[in-house]
């Protein structure tokens, strides 16, 4: 058996086409959404993700505003960029690209974003609303995972889901999202300190690998036919981007969201969707 592919690239392209229509309607109503980004430092991956976000904005017809700071930027300079975007009426939502360079306090920076402009759903108030089950912008990768599964008609309600990874952008909020009444999955949150990872993964109908450890999830851990989403990224010795799921897993899984081409493009699509949703709410659409 070879797994069928959850094609995040195709799904994201379809979402961008839908967003283009929604943005045109917003503009007819006199509202132009604008996405801001704060990027600090020289990390090539972060530069490429931010460039992609601005390309998406251009394609969909929304404005975009960049604040790029050098790796030597101080905490005060990063906080100043956040304050400027909070105050800029052309910027209806923005993100601070993570990770920030060592020495900067990311939690403090995220906490200074106006929660109403938090396009990533990572402000503590918005994460708190996710815990409480109140409406709020949702973190992009977890939203992208739910959206991808839904577009492929994969049942989430009642599924046993194992999430591997406890990070703030994926693992922790994904567990909260999937256990809401509307999703109704049963979630086990594993991580690199889990004693017997294989025993947990073997029970799962859906496995989300987001620990950033190359090849952590292997074929022998999987229940045959399981749905596997590879979200982790790390670099191989020759500098190639590699995922958390061993390639041989494709012979056991029923469905696979590969890395690249699976959840990553959905993360980008959900960011623009968050910005458009907020503008629609403000315009009463």
Ligand X SMILES: Nc1nc2c(c(=O)[nH]1)N[C@@H](CN(C=O)c1ccc(C(=O)N[C@@H](CCC(=O)O)C(=O)O)cc1)CN2
Q: What is the dihedral of CA 213, 219, 225, 230, to 10 degrees?
A: 20
Q: Which is nearer to ligand X, 52 or 254 (CB)?
A: 52
Interaction between residue 94 and ligand X (CB under 6 A): no
Beta carbon of residue 161, minimum distance to ligand X (angstroms, whole number): 20
> Looking at 53, 117, 205, 246, which residue is catalytic?
53
16 in a labelled binding site = no
30 in a labelled binding site = no
Please say whether the beta carbons of 242 and 214 come within 8 A.
yes
Interaction between residue 140 and ligand X (CB under 6 A): yes
Angle, helix 124-132 to helix 171-178, in steps of 10 degrees: 30
* 21 given a catalytic annotation: no
Interaction between residue 267 and ligand X (CB under 6 A): yes
DSSP reduced 3-state for 164: strand
Q: Are strands 241-242 and 234-235 parallel, antiparallel or unpaired?
A: antiparallel
Interaction between residue 261 and ligand X (CB under 6 A): yes
Q: What is the DSSP string of 30-69?
A: T---EEEEEEES--HHHHHHHHHHHHHHHHHT-EEEEEEE
Task: Identify which range of 22-30, 81-89, 154-162, 265-273 contacts ligand X by CB under 6 A.
Answer: 265-273
Interaction between residue 274 and ligand X (CB under 6 A): no
Which of 249, 12, 252 shows the shortest CA–CA distance to 151? Answer: 12
Token output for 72: 């030597």
Token output for 94: 């923005």
Q: Which is nearer to ligand X, 162 or 266 (CB)?
A: 266
> Looking at 56, 97, 117, 230, which residue is catalytic?
97
Interaction between residue 115 and ligand X (CB under 6 A): no
Interaction between residue 6 and ligand X (CB under 6 A): no
Q: For ligand X, how many residues bind (rule: CB under 6 A)?
A: 18
Please say whether the beta carbons of 8 and 265 come within 8 A.
yes
Instruction: Report the residue from 64, 126, 169, 274 that binds ligand X according to the rule CB under 6 A.
Output: 169
* 53 given a catalytic annotation: yes
DSSP state of 211: S
33-62 residues near ligand X, rule: CB under 6 A: 48-49
* 97 given a catalytic annotation: yes
Half-sphere exposure of 194 (CA within 13 A, CB side): 19
Preceding peptide of 99 cis, ω within 30°: yes
> Looking at 7, 56, 118, 120, which residue is catalytic?
120
Beta carbon of residue 27, minimum distance to ligand X (angstroms, whole number): 26
243 in a labelled binding site = no
Which residues form the interface with ligand X (CB under 6 A)?
Answer: 48-49, 95-98, 120, 140-141, 169, 241, 259-261, 264-265, 267-268
Which residues are part of a known binding site for NADP(+)?
165-167, 233
């Amino acid at each position: 058996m070879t797994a069928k592919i959850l094609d995040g690239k195709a799904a994201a392209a379809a979402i961008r086409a839908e967003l283009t229509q929604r943005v045109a309607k917003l503009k007819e109503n006199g509202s132009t959404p604008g996405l801001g980004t704060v990027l600090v430092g020289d990390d090539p991956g972060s530069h490429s993700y931010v460039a992609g976000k601005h390309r998406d904005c251009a394609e969909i017809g929304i404005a975009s505003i960049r604040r790029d700071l050098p790796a030597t930027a101080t905490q005060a300079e990063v906080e100043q960029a956040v304050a400027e975007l909070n105050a800029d009426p052309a910027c209806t939502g923005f993100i601070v690209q993570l990770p920030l360079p060592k020495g900067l306090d990311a939690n403090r920076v995220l906490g200074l974003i106006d929660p109403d402009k938090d396009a990533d759903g990572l402000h503590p108030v918005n994460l708190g609303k996710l815990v409480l089950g109140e409406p709020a912008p949702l973190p992009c990768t977890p939203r992208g995972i739910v959206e991808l599964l839904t577009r492929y008609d994969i049942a989430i309600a009642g599924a046993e889901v194992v999430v591997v990874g406890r990070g703030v952008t994926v693992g922790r909020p994904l567990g909260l999202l999937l256990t809401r009444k509307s999703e109704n999955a049963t979630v086990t949150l594993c991580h690199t300190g889990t004693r017997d990872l294989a025993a947990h993964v073997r029970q799962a109908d859906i496995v989300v690998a987001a620990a950033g450890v190359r090849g952590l999830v292997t074929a022998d851990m999987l229940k045959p036919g399981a749905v596997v989403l590879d979200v982790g990224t790390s670099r191989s010795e020759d500098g190639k981007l590699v995922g958390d799921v061993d390639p041989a897993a494709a012979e056991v899984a029923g469905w696979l969201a590969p890395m690249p081409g699976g959840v990553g493009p959905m993360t980008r699509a959900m960011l623009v969707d968050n910005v458009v949703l907020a503008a629609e709410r403000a315009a009463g659409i």
